[in-house]
Structure 1
Amino acid sequence: MRKILGLLLITLFFSCSSNAQKTEKNSKKYKISKTEAEWKKVLSKEEFYVLREAGTERPFTSPLNNNKKEGVYVCAACKTALYESKHKFDSGTGWPSFDRAINGNVELDVDYKIGYARTELKCNTCGSHLGHSFDDGPQETTGKRHCINGVALDFIPKEK
Structure 2
Amino acid sequence: MTVKTQRAVLGSTAAAAALALGLSIVTATPVRAADATQGEQCQALSQQMLDALLHGDSKSASKAFDNDMRSALPPDKLARLWKQVQQNFGDFKSRGNVQTMQVNGMDVVITPMQFSKTMLDAQVACNPQRQIAGFFLRPTAA
Same fold flag (TM > 0.5): no
Q: Which protein has greater RCO, CA pairs closer than 8 Å, 6+ apart?
A: 2
- TM-score, structure 1 as length reference: 0.30
- TM-score, structure 2 as length reference: 0.32
Structure with max Cα Rg: 1
